Amino acid sequence: MTLDLPAISRALSKTPGASSDGLNQGHSLLCRREAPSFQREAKATGASGDELLVACTQESRLFLALNEQTEGAASVAERPIHFVNIRETAGWSRDGALATPKIAALIAAAQLPAPAPVTTVSYRSQGRTLVIGDAASAHAAAALLADKLDVSLLVEGRAGQRQPGALPQARDQAVFAGTLVELKGWLGQFDARWSSGNPIDLDLCTRCNACVDACPEGAIDFSYQVDLALCKSHRDCVRVCEAAGAIDFQRPLQQVDERFDLVLDLRPAPAFTQHQPPQGYFHVANGPAAEPAALMKAVLALRELAGEFEKPKFFNYQQRLCAHSRNEQIGCTACIDVCSAQAVRSEATQKGKARGRTHAAAGQATVHTPGQAGGGIAVEPHLCVGCGACTTVCPSGALTFAYPGTVDQGKRWRTMLQAYGHAGGKDAVLLLHSEKAGVAAVDALGRAARSQRRGSTLQGLPARVLPVPLWHTASTGIDLWLAAIAQGASQVWVLLTDEEAPQYRQALGEQMAVAQAILAGLGYRGEHLRVVEADISTPEGLARFDAALRVAPAQTVTRPAAFATQADKRPTLDLAIDHLLAQAPAKDALPADAALPLPAAGSPFGSLVVDTAKCTLCLSCVGACPEAALADNADKPQLRFIEKNCVQCGLCVKTCPEDAITLQPRLWLADSGKARKATRVLHEAQPFQCIRCSKPFGTLRAIENMLEKLAGHAAFQGRAAERLKMCSDCRVVDMYSGDDEVRIQDIR
């Protein structure tokens, strides 16, 4: 590798949050031969209290062990050791000699403090395990688990037919026979329901085999179930089983409900169809094509799942920002549609339930947050796997990713871009990838490029591509993407592998289309956002991955922004768009607005078109708007609008009784972007004045519509009809004064 330590040191000294102190060692084989150098530095930092950064991840285990064995070195708890890979990600590339800015960026990011810890979600498992499948395979799997877990078998088949395979004579586990009807829950809390309609009760059966011998049709085998298609109603089996009483042909179909901590499903089709099943559930299809390695992998995982466990709570939810529902009207459903774990559900009909209610489940409390006026969404943290796709598609920022949050993530990206720029780097690309399959793909490409002396044609990561590991590739969206462009990145790419669910790919593509439309509307040329596919299972796939990284830079800002990303999505978007607009290449020639595509999740920006011929200014849309984009005027009948606040959720459209509102996805650029932040009037009307006191109330159009609709109603004739033209105060006064008092009839 080429290491220009003076250049790296100069770049780090100019980057906020980074340090060049102690950056004076260059090693060619730090891994083992020069391990004593690590021990010297461990002692030095132990004495000074400084943190230690090691530019090698391959031997991190060795270094941690050496640190514990080195006299005078501080423990990791007292002084953390940071590791960063600059080999496969930078040095091992055809562009390795040009990678100094990238190396500076990677080292600067590695020096940042760890993000603040997040709250956790707890699981409790006592090892109660349900194995579902035919008799032979279920019992074989149970034998691999029984020494560590409390195993029960559900021998499944169609009602009235015996099960394939045979049960052993020894009753080592509880055995049930039936057909699974429902399975729901998660690790430590699976609720299983199955129906049982076979004459033989396996719980009562002693497996004496007398029924097998007595049956003249051979309808009973060693699965101890009756094949009713073969049975001719001789009932010899009933007579020989009289003592045990396990056979009853009059037994009705039974529904059995049981709770388990873990589930091993050996049936051809899984019980859960979503891309990401609940934790604690394992499906291994049994049959001719079954892979023993897959079963063994599931068994080994199950054996370790008895006890108490924790995982991060990956999301934060702010109900006040949620645009899902109001007054039982459904607006935005982006998070519900994209969730691959089915962890998000609507509570739009939960009217009147207390905010923050809890319910106990297996000794644990799950918090559900209804929306305003009854509704909103509920996210089950036990099912959430931390993909973050819900936060990416959320237009309002009601859902935000917390592992880490946008403030920490944005600081990391900005630090990388600043260090890269200070070291002389140009046209930076942030390559977002997962911490597992994504890291493996980047490392594989680096190692393959290193073997060029043996004839490899692969080039490795270009010098301008900065790899950024994420917990999940779907966890960042247009707020961070556009902020990165505003802070000097030329492009932002997302690396996808076979880990991602189909809906993640679609959501990322749609969000990128919106962000690209914004940049194009602002006059920035080129492709700024794209998805990069990585398949490293074959040489051809690795070559395609390598080729996909050779793309021309896109136009970016001439002066990078220095703003910090915010905890909420919309403020970050506003900061990014304002800077991109201020730095637009042809600012004076920009169009009045930039049309935006309409993804399935909805556009994050847009206007409203109001049909003034239909609108009666009833202002029901104002009450429905969750983002304060719509407002009235206390002084006169007006419908006012702040376009910056609109998230195009459609609640106003669905609430309007006159069908007078249409959504218009766009980014309004007029007046250098100031117009979208200002309040403007969408519709106003002449007020109607009370015929008694002349005080304005309602609108002329609304009162005329009301009079027209009630003209034929018996309760609103004569003087009663005149009261409809009065304000509420005069209406009361008029009812109890005068000689021609009208008695209001009961309306049935």
Structural domain boundaries of the chain?
123-307, 313-401, 405-576, 605-684, 687-735
Q: Which of helix, strand or coil describes residue 218?
A: coil
- Interval 718-741 mean pLDDT: 81
> What's 226's DSSP letter?
B
Q: Positive or negative CA dihedral for 410, 413, 415, 421?
A: negative
> What's 371's DSSP letter?
B
pTM of structure = 0.87
Angstrom distance (rounded) from CA 389 to CA 698: 44
Angstrom distance (rounded) from CA 515 to CA 494: 14
Of 83, 20, 31, 16, the C-alpha closest to 469 is 83
Beta bridge partners of 379: 344
Q: What is the pLDDT of residues 423-443, one digit of tens each?
A: 999 999 999 999 999 999 999
Concatenating the DSSP letter of every residue in 403-435 gives TT-HHHHHHHHHHHHHHHHHTT--S-EEEEEET
One-letter amino acid at 413 equals: W
Residue percentage of the chain with pLDDT more than 90:
66
Angstrom distance (rounded) from CA 453 to CA 557: 39
Question: Looking up tokens 């101890």, which residue turns up?
Answer: 224
Helix (H) or strand (E) holding 682: strand 679-684
Say if residue 493's pLDDT is above 60.
yes
Residue percentage of the chain with pLDDT more than 70:
92
Asked whether 466 and 105 are in contact (CB, 8 A), the reply is yes
pLDDT the model gives residue 453:
53
Say if residue 744's pLDDT is above 60.
no
**Residues ≥6 apart with Cβ < 8 Å to 362:** 124, 188, 189, 259
The verdict on domain 123-307 having CATH code 3.50.50 is: yes
Angstrom distance (rounded) from CA 656 to CA 642: 18
Angstrom distance (rounded) from CA 257 to CA 260: 10
Mode of pairing for the β-strands spanning 429-434 and 491-496: parallel
Residue 549's φ and ψ, nearest 5 degrees, are -85, -5
Q: What is the pLDDT of residues 393-428, one digit of tens each?
A: 999 999 999 999 999 999 999 999 999 999 999 999
Angstrom distance (rounded) from CA 212 to CA 582: 86
pLDDT the model gives residue 34:
78
The beta strand positions in 95-173, using DSSP E, are 120-125, 128-133, 150-156
One-letter amino acid at 55 equals: A
Measure the N-to-C terminal CA separation of the chain; round to a whole number of Å: 88
| Equal fold, 313-401 vs 605-684 | yes
- Interval 181-196 mean pLDDT: 96
Tokens of 362: 């297996």
Q: What is the pLDDT of residues 106-163, one digit of tens each?
A: 999 999 999 989 999 999 999 999 999 988 889 899 999 999 999 999 987 544 445 5
Angstrom distance (rounded) from CA 486 to CA 583: 9
Q: What is the pLDDT of residues 11-58, one digit of tens each?
A: 999 999 888 877 766 666 666 777 888 888 899 888 888 888 998 898
Tokens of 147: 């020494």
Of 652, 740, 641, 624, the C-alpha closest to 681 is 641
Mean pLDDT, the chain, rounded, equals 89
**CATH number listed for the domain at residues 313-401:** 3.30.70.20
Q: What is the pLDDT of residues 572-625, one digit of tens each?
A: 999 999 999 999 998 888 999 999 998 877 899 999 999 999 998 889 999 999
Beta bridge partners of 364: 361
Asked whether 727 and 693 are in contact (CB, 8 A), the reply is yes
Q: What is the pLDDT of residues 522-544, one digit of tens each?
A: 999 999 999 999 999 999 999 99
- Interval 294-306 mean pLDDT: 96
> What's 145's DSSP letter?
H
610 to 462, 653, 699: CA distances (angstroms): 50, 10, 16
**Residues ≥6 apart with Cβ < 8 Å to 189:** 259, 261, 361, 362, 364, 382
Of 577, 570, 703, 697, the C-alpha closest to 635 is 697
**Residues ≥6 apart with Cβ < 8 Å to 608:** 630, 641, 646, 652, 661, 662, 663, 664, 682
Beta bridge partners of 359: 366
One-letter amino acid at 274 equals: Q
Angstrom distance (rounded) from CA 119 to CA 373: 28
Q: What does the CA dihedral 351, 353, 358, 360 come to, rounded to 10 degrees?
A: -80
pLDDT the model gives residue 350:
53
By CB neighbour count within 10 A (0-12 exposed, 13-18 middle, 19+ buried), where does 551 fall?
middle
Asked whether 497 and 474 are in contact (CB, 8 A), the reply is no
Q: What is the pLDDT of residues 59-81, one digit of tens each?
A: 899 999 999 999 999 999 888 89
Buried b (16+ CB within 10 A) or exposed e, 247-268: beeeeeeeeeeeebbbbbbbbe
One-letter amino acid at 151 equals: V
Asked whether 107 and 55 are in contact (CB, 8 A), the reply is yes
284 to 261, 271, 654, 693: CA distances (angstroms): 18, 11, 45, 79
Angstrom distance (rounded) from CA 64 to CA 60: 6
pLDDT the model gives residue 742:
42
Question: Looking up tokens 């136009």, which residue turns up?
Answer: 555
Cα angle, residue 43 at apex, residues 39 and 47 outer, rounded to 5°: 165
Question: Looking up tokens 């917990």, which residue turns up?
Answer: 471
Angstrom distance (rounded) from CA 581 to CA 22: 41
Asked, as a colleague might, if the bond just before 268 is cis with ω within 30 of 0, I would say: no
- Select the more confidently predicted residue: 650 or 635: 650
**CATH number listed for the domain at residues 605-684:** 3.30.70.3270
Q: What fold does the segment set 405-576 form as a domain?
A: Rossmann fold (3.40.50)
